[in-house]
Amino acid sequence: MKNILHVERAIKKMTQADLAGQVGVSRQTIHSIESNKYIPSTLLALKIARVFGKTVEEIFQLEKKDL
Amino acid sequence: MRANYLFPFSSRYFGIGLILIHIPIKLLWDHYYPNGYDEHMSSADSTDFLFSAPHLFFIGTTLMVLVGLFLIAFSRERVEDEQITQLRLDSLRWAIYLNYAILLFSLIFTRGSESDHILMLNIWLPLLFFILRFQWVIYRLNRSARSNDSDTNL
């Protein structure tokens, strides 16, 4: 699963720590999600999408290997 | 949010303390009784009464190490989020696999009292494997995040 978290963060001029604070996880977790090392739970994906005012599908997309 | 049944973050320091306290006690015991626990337990004096001094000492020191390791292993991280929970579960599975692999290997290639010692080690070995693996993955995670900081300045 890929994501455009770092792009959305750059648009909003947010640091990883800012986003982590808003969704209640560690900065390391945001880093892991951005580098595709960790797939967030539905709850966390929804929280992240809400911060950026977008739907989950706009931020997280399935890749061919996930299908 | 589901309860995660973990001890508070600070309890790890209490756990480290227990293990550190256990070391001089064990050294003193070994100094006064160089033949060790087994010989005391097999002697006629100590078999008369279950809670003899060597046995009480054994229970005390084993409990100190065990409770210490338990507190270190199952205390919360500063931020106990879902990724940490996953790493915790992965490490626990890894520790159980490794422990049973070593246990099976040891039981095949040892016999008699050696097997008993290996079984005794299994009281705390899975906890030790778990702690080492869990702290290692957290260290790697932090290092990766730090190197990302220096690359992007974010």
Is B144's Cβ below 8 Å from some Cβ in A?
A: yes
- pLDDT computed for residue B152 by the predictor: 61
Torsion over CA: B72, B77, B81, B84 (sign): negative
Query: How many angstroms separate the CA atoms of B31 and A54, rounded?
Result: 68
pLDDT digits (tens), chain A, 67 positions = 899 999 999 999 999 999 999 999 999 999 999 999 999 999 999 999 999 999 999 999 998 888 7
> Could you tell me which residues come within 8 angstroms of residue B117 by beta carbon, excluding any fewer than 6 positions away?
none
A15, A26, A33, A48: which to substitute to probe chain B, counting the most B Cβ within 10 Å?
Answer: A26
Query: How many angstroms separate the CA atoms of A19 and B154, rounded?
Result: 12
The pTM (predicted TM-score) of the whole model is: 0.84
Confidence of residue B39 (pLDDT cuts 50, 70, 90): low
Residues B91-143 pLDDT 10s: 999 999 999 999 999 888 888 777 778 888 888 899 999 999 999 999 999 99
